[in-house]
Structure 1
Amino acid sequence: MPFVAELYFDPSTEERIRGVWKTLDEAGISDSMPKGGYRPHVSLGVCDHLETNSLAQELTTFTAKVTPFRLLFPNIGIFSTSEGVVYLGATVTAELLNVHTAFHEIFKKHAKEQREYYTVGQWVPHCTLAFGLSEDQIAEAVIVCRQMDLPVSTEVKGIGVVEVSSTGCRTLSSFSLKTSDSSELNDELRSEYDETLLKNGVRGKYAKQ
């Protein structure tokens, strides 16, 4: 069964998203998220095999370098694949990419058989509202989810690792992000991100000029 590393939000945002899950459930469209015991999140990485203890040790240090940061969800989107997903789409920012790239420098040392959709350069950051939907259910779910007041603005507060099975998910570890008035720690991650781009021969908006 897959393992998933996740970004977690502030409590008020979690409550709003759980409210949408409840509405979808009460409308008879989908109970996939509440039934599975999921927590509102953005998935950072997914793999089939994971050295959980060694990753947890590194995440203790990693999360001490990251201060909470803002994240905006301005739109409703769908993945019309076999998974049948409706989601909140996140605005891609330099800070979000910095954290994702720096995280994967750690994750790749402990994860095997990663899901490519979540790797650097392939990732579409999103918060799942429902999955396992048919085409008709996708249309119904979008109508319900469009009733949300958008954009949803949140603060990323933590990172966790869960194991997903056919019956739901189980939390293996959870870490709060460092509380600090300084951006120096996140600037350190920005530097690591830029160095990774340069190492791979990429020059872009966030690479050193």
Structure 2
Amino acid sequence: MYGVIAYLNSESEQKINQLRDGLVKEGIVGHGMRPHVTLATHPEVDIESFKVSFQNYFNEIAAIPLFFPSLAIFLNSGTLYAAPTKNSELTDFHLRYHDHFKSEINQQSLYIPSHWVPHCTLVMDLSHEDVVKAFDYSARNLEPFHATIDSVALIQLTYEADICTDVKDILTVELKKS
């Protein structure tokens, strides 16, 4: 399976990584990838031709401004995330990608426009008790912040028994400075 993820600017990544370090110091240990917002998943693609299409598509896209004013959890998942405001730039960015690559998108995915909850995972795979602790810690230690989606990556995910065991960056495209 392949994913398309939007990376945040370095200052925002540092802010999230500092929060994650604080969670670990509090004994709250979960998993989390490099800070990002997921745009789509693709079951299988002809990777070489898809990379060319992906690069060409994102070469002319400008960076997207975001504002993260809230925290939330996905129910029964052990996942805590920072939620950006779903502004017109972000919504359009997402919709245009799905329209352009609709023939290769996993239509059962939680990332299709009608199901998408834009988010940046802070920590996942937590017990219920640790989700509560992580939420409390994060609410006390993370202020609302502005961020920018400044690059987009195509990643490959490997699963064994419905558990992701490996993530590889295939291609990252820098967005144009806005």
TM-score by length of 1: 0.76
Measure how far apart 1:32 and its partner are.
0.7
Q: Does 1:52 align with 2:70?
A: no
Which residue identity does 1:54 align to in structure 2? Answer: S
| Structure 1 residues 126 and 98, CA gap change in structure 2 (3 angstroms) | same
Partner SS for 1:86 = strand
Gaps of 5+ in 2: 159-163
Report the count of equivalent residues: 173
Q: In 2, distance between residues paired with 1:136 and 1:49?
A: 37
Partner SS for 1:78 = strand
Structure with higher Rg: it is 1
Q: In 2, distance between residues paired with 1:144 and 1:162?
A: 30
Q: In 1, distance between residues paired with 2:113 and 2:173?
A: 22
What's the counterpart of residue 77 of structure 1? 72
Q: Does 1:65 align with 2:64?
A: no
Which residue identity does 2:99 align to in structure 1? Answer: E
Partner SS for 1:39 = coil
Show the 5 A alignment for 1:1-209.
Answer: 2-33=1-32, 38-81=33-76, 83-111=77-105, 113-165=106-158, 166-179=164-177
Q: In 1, distance between residues paired with 2:174 and 2:156?
A: 19
Q: Tell me if structure 2 keeps the 8 A contact 1:162–1:170.
A: yes
Partner SS for 2:17 = helix
Q: Give me the identity figure in percent.
A: 25
Q: In 1, distance between residues paired with 2:89 and 2:52?
A: 23
Q: In 2, distance between residues paired with 1:43 and 1:5?
A: 6
Query: Comparing both structures, which one devotes a greater share of its residues to strand?
Result: 2
Partner SS for 1:61 = helix
Gaps of 5+ in 1: 181-209
Instruction: Say which is worse superposed, 43-52 or 129-138, in terms of deviation.
Output: 43-52
Measure how far apart 1:114 and its partner are.
4.3
Query: Comparing both structures, which one devotes a greater share of its residues to helix?
Result: 1
Measure how far apart 1:40 and its partner are.
0.6
Q: In 2, distance between residues paired with 1:63 and 1:47?
A: 17
Partner SS for 2:100 = helix
Q: Tell me if structure 1 keeps the 8 A contact 2:19–2:142.
A: no
CA offsets 1:39-82 (integer angstroms, 9 cap, x no match): 1100001243333322221221221221112101100000013x
Q: In 1, distance between residues paired with 2:16 and 2:177?
A: 24
